[in-house]
Amino acid sequence: AQSVTQLGSHVSVSEGALVLLRCNYSSSVPPYLFWYVQYPNQGLQLLLKYTTGATLVKGINGFEAEFKKSETSFHLTKPSAHMSDAAEYFCAVRPSGGSYIPTFGRGTSLIVHP
Amino acid sequence: GAGVSQSPSNKVTEKGKDVELRCDPISGHTALYWYRQSLGQGLEFLIYFQGNSAPDKSGLPSDRFSAERTGGSVSTLTIQRTQQEDSAVYLCASSLVGGTGANVLTFGAGSRLTVL
């Protein structure tokens, strides 16, 4: 069984500030980890993923995330927020073996102030 | 098609009526998923189809919910005797299984269901 916890349903930052969205997971086997983004009135799209190999993964639009096994975390960061980053962000986990069904967190709404 | 297509995009119905939501996945994607997105609740897994295998129905919230996938392609989610708590956005996604694309879901824009 697996689960995902996203700390903070809303995160507010100023344009140009660091973005940090937190994700902690639990998984009984090595996980595959994902961040998806949902822009207003659009479907979810993949931002980045971790499967194996390098623990720091880079995604689209300048986002990156680091898999920290000891902390069971996969936090999403971006050095400088843009207004266009305002969206809902979802962290997801699925086991590396067995089920192909990912479990999603409740989402974090990123608000960017000018 | 180029993406996952869902219809209708919006559906308003009266309590007690049946509704059908349709999903047309990406051609060649053997895996198909239905999730429900409610305000503040994230994505709730409903059902998963993979090729000709029996579907994983473990997420269906009640026996009023059912889904089928015909010919390994188009899927229909049916909700019978709708209740107000069924109001949500129903998301369909598809993916490849195996290979580098195995882990990535491509989502449709969703079907927003409102039960009055």
**pLDDT, tens only, A37-49:** 999 888 899 999 9
Alpha carbon A113 to its chain's center: 21
Count of residues making up chain B: 116
**pLDDT range class, residue B25, cuts 50, 70, 90:** very high
Does any CB of chain A come closer than 8 Å to the CB of residue B54?
A: no
Contact at CB, A49 and B97, closer than 8 angstroms? no
Helix or strand run (H / E) with residue B89 = strand B88-95
Q: Is B25 on the interface with A (CB under 8 A)?
A: no
**pLDDT tens by residue, B7-23:** 999 999 999 999 999 99
Out of B33, B40, B108, whose CB is closest to A9? B40
| pLDDT one-digit tens code per residue, A52-108 | 888 999 999 999 999 999 999 999 999 999 999 999 999 999 988 777 899 999 999
**pLDDT (tens digit per residue) in B68-99:** 998 879 999 999 999 999 999 999 999 988 76
Contact B107 A106 (CB under 8 A): no
Number of inter-chain CB pairs under 8 A, A vs B: 53
Q: What is the DSSP string of A23-81?
A: -EEEESSPEEEEEEEE-TTS-EEEEEEE-SS-SEEE-GGG-EEEEEGGGTEEEEEESS-
Of B41, B105, B108, the CB nearest to A102: B105
Residues 6+ apart with CB under 8 A from B63: none
The pLDDT of residue B49 is 95
- B42 Cβ under 8 Å from any chain A Cβ: yes
CA Rg, chain B, in Å? 14
Q: What is the mean pLDDT of chain B?
A: 92
Cβ–Cβ contact B111 with A under 8 A: no
| Contact list, A104 vs chain B (CB under 8 Å) | 35, 42-43, 45
